[in-house]
Amino acid sequence: MAYGGVILSNSLSFYQKRIVMSSRVQEKNGGASIPHVLSVAGSDSGAGAGIQADLKTCAARGVYCSTVITAVTAQNTVGVQSVHAVPEDFVAQQLKSVLSDMQVDVVKSGMLPSVGVVKVLLQSLAEFSVRALVVDPVMVSTSGDVLAGPSILSTFRQPIAASAGYLCLISVIILLAKSKEELLPMADIVTPNIKEASALLGGIRLETVADMRTAAELLHALGPRNVLVKGGDLPGSLDAVDIFFNGEHFYELRSSRIKTHNTHGTGCTLASCIAAELAKGSPMLTAVRVAKRYVETALEYSKDILIGNGIQGPFDHLLKLKSGSHSFRRKDAFNPSDLFLYAVTDSGMNKKWGRSMVDAVAEAIQGGATIVQLREKDVETRDFLETAKSCLVVCRSHGVPLLINDRIDVALASDADGVHVGQSDMPATVARTLLGPEKIIGVSCKTVEQAQQAWIGGADYIGCGGVYSTNTKANNPTIGLDGLKTVCSASKLPVVTIGGINASNAGTVMEMGVPNLKGVAVVSALFDRENVLAETKKLHALLMEASSSSKMQ
């Protein structure tokens, strides 16, 4: 569907289309349009997953959600007791009622209980254009219940031979996978969990993050624009790792694995949040990152709530209404895994190699930089602001945060994602008051006391170094690996280390396996080189290898 180029020219970005579309609707009605997701999914009586999760997610994200119900399930925290599929022609009627009347931005599909319902959805999408399609190929719930084959669910529940039951399951999954082969090429993103990815690929074994990458690539070949293989159910993994693949680049999206039984409906929530963010105009990778953070925040917020007596409870989607918004917004804006490959710019180096700041930043991001800090020491404020705005366009289009070094005024004026301050700049607590709860604040710290102050002041992360000696910063004492370890172990905050890091020593730093050391910050190793893209790729690959070998230890 590629953002449904039927209505509007394909040369426009999704965001531009949204603006054009909104103004059209406003002209027609004289009112404001609200981003709109249509959820085509099953009802969950326990209200943790399905349609109910989609409604709550969209409400929490400020997006309107209409609903086409494909099945009604009798379901609770123990499992799925029964499924009643809505007749296909009635699904078709619901689709027509909504799509013929309302301006839907994004369709999100969940449980599609039969091949007939998939076909009905395909027909509606051919008739009524929307701008993006998010396909969550719901087949098997985390509780192990089959959701895509209600006609055989009853067969399953009868005491039949295990092998016969297994054959039934395989045949239904293959049938649905086949019909989804028609749905997948229409999808802007498909979001299978491990079992669903395996089923869609004919039952291949998926046991590691490397297997998830292979699966993402194979699924991409079936036609969707983007693939997100979700690792919530990956056995033995410490983090919650999802693999995003856009046909060109892989992104390993990590968040901490929240220790909770309340994970029922995470998949539906993630997909509907992606749909909601797309409806607001976000680019795909940004939408996925925001959605992952939303799920993580909601799980953390709800980790101790008790609903039902089963093994997998629901969580609270509307935490924002209760949580005084601070903790939610702050977490929403910052993910510690963004510190993994932290690129710090230097205009002197770019001049030396004859390239603009924006080009240098774009190359670093393409090479795998996960966050960018704009560091301009001897530049006029006006020029700094212009550079920040241009770099922000590049960063936003890739879902990579942009921080401004030292200058809170420039961060505010450019609406950058945050600042990084040193010990002689504005204290973190003042920066937090000026910037508000949503912006990211990082503080350079060499000592345990400084790290403690940064945490009290409301910083999101610490930059700790110089770990090795460097030419980039004069009069900067080196603290070494031991100094780094001391600060890390005394701090609750995530840490990125800086100072003289390059391809020859980055591995050593990451292999230390310090839990809150989330990445390395580099200047010369990327920007004082002829080919920024190649250097960033090299360092990214090296860091990936080092961090996976440290996790295996």
Ligand X SMILES: Cc1ncc(CO)c(N)n1
Q: Give the binding site for ligand X (CB under 6 A).
A: 41-42, 44, 49-50, 73, 75, 110-111, 138, 141, 147, 265, 267-268
Are 122 and 182 in contact by the 8 Å Cβ rule? The answer is yes
**Distance of alpha carbon 509 from alpha carbon 341, whole angstroms:** 13
Comparison of 141 and 347: residue with beta carbon closer to ligand X: 141
Active site residue 50: no
Active site residue 268: yes
191 near Mg ion (CB under 5 A): no
The partner in contact with residue 73, picked from Mg ion, ligand X, ligand ATP, none with C-beta cut-offs of 5 to 8 angstroms by kind, is ligand X
163-182 residues in contact with ligand ATP (CB under 6 A) are none
534, 539, 542, 548: CA torsion to nearest 10 = -120
102-141 residues in contact with ligand ATP (CB under 6 A) are 141
Active site residue 488: no
262 near Mg ion (CB under 5 A): no
204-233 residues in contact with ligand ATP (CB under 6 A) are 230-233
**Distance of alpha carbon 143 from alpha carbon 266, whole angstroms:** 12
Per-residue CA distances from 498 to 341, 408, 445, 469 (Å): 11, 21, 11, 10
Comparison of 35 and 110: residue with beta carbon closer to ligand X: 110
Among 49, 190, 435, 498, binds ligand ATP (CB under 6 A): 49
The partner in contact with residue 46, picked from ligand X, Mg ion, ligand ATP, none with C-beta cut-offs of 5 to 8 angstroms by kind, is none
The distance of closest approach from Cβ of residue 473 to ligand ATP in the complex, given in angstroms and rounded to an integer, is 37
**539 CB-near residues (< 8 Å, 6+ apart):** 341, 367, 368, 502, 503, 506, 520, 522, 525, 526
Are 30 and 73 in contact by the 8 Å Cβ rule? The answer is no
Q: In what order do the strands lie in the sheet with 132-135?
A: 80-85, 64-75, 36-44, 106-109, 132-135, 189-190, 226-229, 239-245, 250-256
Q: Give the chain's largest Cα–Cα span.
A: 77
Which one is catalytic: 46, 232, 265, 483? 265
Bridge partners, 227 (sequence order): 190, 245
302 near ligand ATP (CB under 6 A): no
The distance of closest approach from Cβ of residue 268 to ligand X in the complex, given in angstroms and rounded to an integer, is 5
Active site residue 263: yes
Which one is catalytic: 77, 266, 370, 472? 266
Active site residue 267: yes
- The alpha carbons of the chain give a radius of gyration, in whole angstroms, of 24
The distance of closest approach from Cβ of residue 211 to ligand ATP in the complex, given in angstroms and rounded to an integer, is 14
488-517 residues in contact with ligand ATP (CB under 6 A) are none
258 near ligand ATP (CB under 6 A): yes
User: By beta-carbon distance, which residue lies closest to ligand X?
Assistant: 50
Q: Helix H segments across 67-208?
A: 88-99, 115-127, 150-157, 162-183, 194-200
Give the number of other Cβ atoms within 10 Å of residue 495's Cβ.
Answer: 26
The distance of closest approach from Cβ of residue 54 to ligand X in the complex, given in angstroms and rounded to an integer, is 9
Name the nearest CA neighbour of 517 among 545, 540, 490, 553.
490
What SS3 class is residue 151? helix
Are 486 and 455 in contact by the 8 Å Cβ rule? The answer is no
Comparison of 182 and 233: residue with beta carbon closer to Mg ion: 233
Active site residue 42: no
Comparison of 76 and 142: residue with beta carbon closer to Mg ion: 142
**Distance of alpha carbon 255 from alpha carbon 230, whole angstroms:** 12
**Distance of alpha carbon 534 from alpha carbon 72, whole angstroms:** 52
Which one is catalytic: 58, 65, 168, 268? 268
127-146 residues in contact with Mg ion (CB under 5 A) are 142
Among 263, 337, 370, 547, binds ligand ATP (CB under 6 A): 263
The distance of closest approach from Cβ of residue 335 to Mg ion in the complex, given in angstroms and rounded to an integer, is 20
The distance of closest approach from Cβ of residue 195 to Mg ion in the complex, given in angstroms and rounded to an integer, is 9
**Distance of alpha carbon 346 from alpha carbon 355, whole angstroms:** 11
What SS3 class is residue 537? helix
Judged by the rule CB under 6 A, the positions of this chain that interact with ligand ATP are: 49, 141-142, 193, 230-233, 240, 242, 255, 257-258, 260, 263-268, 270, 292, 295-296, 299
Residues marked active site are found at: 230, 263, 265-268
